[in-house]
Amino acid sequence: MIGAARFSVWGAHCLPARVRASSRVLCGASPQSRSGNAQRHLEVCGCADAGHELRGEAPRRAREARALPGSSAARGFTLIELLVVITVIAILMALLFPAFKGVQDQAKRTQAKNDVTQIVTAVNAFYTEYGKYPLSGTTETTIGPGGTPATNETLLNPLRGLEPTLNPKQIVFISPPDVKDKNNPRSGIGTDAGNLGRYFDPWGNNYVVRIDGDYDSQVANPYTSNAGSAQLRTGVIAWSLGKDGLGGSIDKNAGNSDDDVISWQ
C-alpha cells in the first residue's frame, strides 16, 4: 500500500486515464494480485516512477529531435548563404566608404582653416607687441612652398618664442602640437632633424604665409580670381595647398587650387 500510495501522489496527475485505472486496480488488489498488477504497471509505464519519467519524456524527445541530421535545429549555414552575406557586407562597405572619406576630408579642411587663422592671429599679435613683423627683411615676403624660404620654420620659431633675435622677450604667440609621426609629419610641428620646426597641415604640406614686409598695408593675392581682389587690404595672409599639395595660384575654384584652404575667406 505504501508503494501504491507513492505512485498515486507522484504519478497519477500526469498519467493517461488507462494508466490511472491500472493504478487503482493495483491499490485495491490483494498482495498477490498487486504483485502481478505492479509488473503490468511497469510494462505500461516503462519505469518505477511513472510521474518522473513522463515529466522527462518531452525534453528527451526534444533532444532527440535536435540530434536528427535532417532537423532544422542542427542545420548550419550553407556556402551559398555565406557568400550572400559576404556580398551584402561588401556592397554596404562600398556605399559607406565615399561618405566616410568625405567626412574625413571635411574634418581636415576645418582643421586647416583653424590653423591658418591662428597663424594670422599670431603674426598680428607679434606686430602689436614689437611694432614690426617677424621678418628680417623689408619687402613683402612669402614663406613656405612657392616662396622664399620654401619652408616655414623661420617664421614659426620666432612666433613660438624659440628665436631670441626677432623675439627677444621670447613670447609664445602660437603653440601648435608636435606631429604624431616624425617620419610622416601631419597636423603639427615637425620633430625630425630634416623637418624640425616646420608647421605641417593635415595633408603633410607646409603652410604658406605672406606678410606685408614693406608695410604698405596690403599684400598681393596669390589667386587671380574667386579669392578676392588682386591686392588684399591686410598685413598677413596664410593658406594650405590642400590634399593635392598643389595650386596656390590662378583661379581659386579651378584646377589644383580648388582644394586650397585660405585664411581670408
Question: Is 146 within 8 Å of 235 (Cβ atoms)?
Answer: no
Residues 6+ apart with CB under 8 A from 143: 149, 152, 154, 155, 208, 209, 210, 211
- Could you identify the residue written with the cell 627683411? 137
Range of the domain at 16: 2-71
Question: Is 26 within 8 Å of 4 (Cβ atoms)?
Answer: yes
Q: What is the DSSP letter of 199?
A: E
The answer to whether residue 83 is domain-embedded is: no
Same-domain check for residues 111 and 231? yes
Same-domain check for residues 142 and 62? no
The answer to whether residue 172 is domain-embedded is: yes
CA dihedral 51, 56, 62, 63 (to 10 degrees): -150
| Residue where a domain terminates, one of 46, 71, 96 | 71
| Residue where a domain terminates, one of 71, 94, 120 | 71
pLDDT in tens, 94-152: 888 777 788 889 999 999 999 999 999 999 999 999 999 999 999 999 999 999 999 99
pLDDT in tens, 28-73: 445 445 455 545 544 444 444 444 444 556 556 656 555 555 544 4
The answer to whether residue 228 is domain-embedded is: yes
The answer to whether residue 58 is domain-embedded is: yes
Q: Is the per-residue pLDDT at 18 higher than 50?
A: no
Q: CA gyration radius for the chain?
A: 43
Looking at 15-24, 150-159, 225-234, which range is the least confident one?
15-24
The answer to whether residue 99 is domain-embedded is: no
| Residue where a domain terminates, one of 45, 71, 97 | 71
Please state, as a whole number, how many other Cβ atoms lie within 10 Å of the Cβ of residue 151.
Answer: 17
- 223 beta partners: 250
Share of the chain above pLDDT 70, in %: 72
Question: Is 208 within 8 Å of 239 (Cβ atoms)?
Answer: yes
Same-domain check for residues 243 and 127? yes
Same-domain check for residues 118 and 52? no
Beta strands in the chain (DSSP E): 141-143, 188-189, 199-200, 208-211, 219-220, 223-225, 231-232, 236-240, 250-251, 261-262
Nearest C-alpha neighbor of 158 from the set 221, 209, 203:
209
Which three cell numbers, joined as nine digits, stand for 116?
591658418
**116 burial class (0-12, 13-18, 19+ CB within 10 angstroms)?**
buried
Beta strands in 89-181 (DSSP E): 141-143
The answer to whether residue 202 is domain-embedded is: yes
Same-domain check for residues 126 and 249? yes
Looking at 55-64, 152-161, 171-180, 205-214, which range is the least confident one?
55-64
Same-domain check for residues 63 and 120? no
Same-domain check for residues 44 and 146? no
Q: Is the per-residue pLDDT at 17 higher than 90?
A: no
Same-domain check for residues 234 and 169? yes
Predicted structure pTM score: 0.67
**95/140 Cα distance (integer angstroms):** 48
The answer to whether residue 191 is domain-embedded is: yes
Same-domain check for residues 255 and 208? yes
Average pLDDT for 203-217: 97
Same-domain check for residues 164 and 234? yes
Domain count, the chain: 2
Same-domain check for residues 66 and 117? no
Same-domain check for residues 66 and 113? no
**176/41 Cα distance (integer angstroms):** 92
